[in-house]
Amino acid sequence: MRRSVVTIEDCGGPLRRLWRRPALASVLDQSVVSGFGFLTGILAARAVGIEEFGLFVLILIVTAFAQGLHNALVTAPMMTLAGSGTRAAPTYDASVLAGAAVLSLVAASGVALALVAIFALRHEDAQTSVVLGGAALAFAQNLQFTIRRMLFARGRGLTALAMDTARATSFPLVLAAAWLFGLPLSAASVAWLLAGTALAATAPLAWPVWRARRRSLRLRPVARRHWTIARWLFPVVFVTFGQEQVAWILAGIVLGDEAIGGLRAAQYLVGLVLLLLTATENVIPTAAARARETGGEVALRAYLRRATLATAPILGLLLLAIALPADIWLRLVFGEPFAAYAPGVQILAVGVVFIFLRDMATQYFRAMQDTNIVFRAFVVSLLVSLAIMYPLVARYGVTGTALVIAIGHGTSAAFLLFAAMRRVTIGEKPIPRP
Distances in Å between the Cα of 356 and the Cα atoms of 29, 339, 349 are 24, 26, 11
| CB contact set of 390 (below 8 Å; sequence gap of 6+) | 250
More confident residue, 228 or 352: 352
Report, as an integer, the average pLDDT of 203-210.
89
Q: What one-letter code names the amino acid at 142?
A: N
Q: Is the pLDDT of residue 6 over 70?
A: no
Helical ranges in 212-283 per DSSP H:
219-254, 257-280
Q: What one-letter code names the amino acid at 230?
A: A
Q: What one-letter code names the amino acid at 287?
A: A
Answer for the pair 77, 226: CB distance below 8 angstroms, yes or no: yes
151-155, 173-177, 231-235 — most confident range: 173-177
Q: Is the pLDDT of residue 417 over 80?
A: yes
In which band, very low, low, confident or very high, does the pLDDT at 356 lie, cut at 50, 70 and 90? Answer: very high
Sign of the four-CA dihedral 306, 272, 318, 324:
negative
Report, as an integer, the average pLDDT of 152-175.
90
**pLDDT at res. 92:** 84
Which helix (DSSP H) or strand (DSSP E) does residue 385 occupy? helix 372-426
**pLDDT at res. 120:** 92
Answer for the pair 51, 95: CB distance below 8 angstroms, yes or no: no
Answer for the pair 133, 192: CB distance below 8 angstroms, yes or no: yes
**pLDDT at res. 427:** 55
Distances in Å between the Cα of 151 and the Cα atoms of 79, 90, 140, 160, 197 are 10, 12, 17, 6, 19
Task: Quote the mean pLDDT of the chain.
Answer: 84
Report, as an integer, the average pLDDT of 237-266.
84
Q: How far apart are CA 96 and CA 70, in angstroms?
A: 12
pTM, whole model, 2 decimals? 0.77
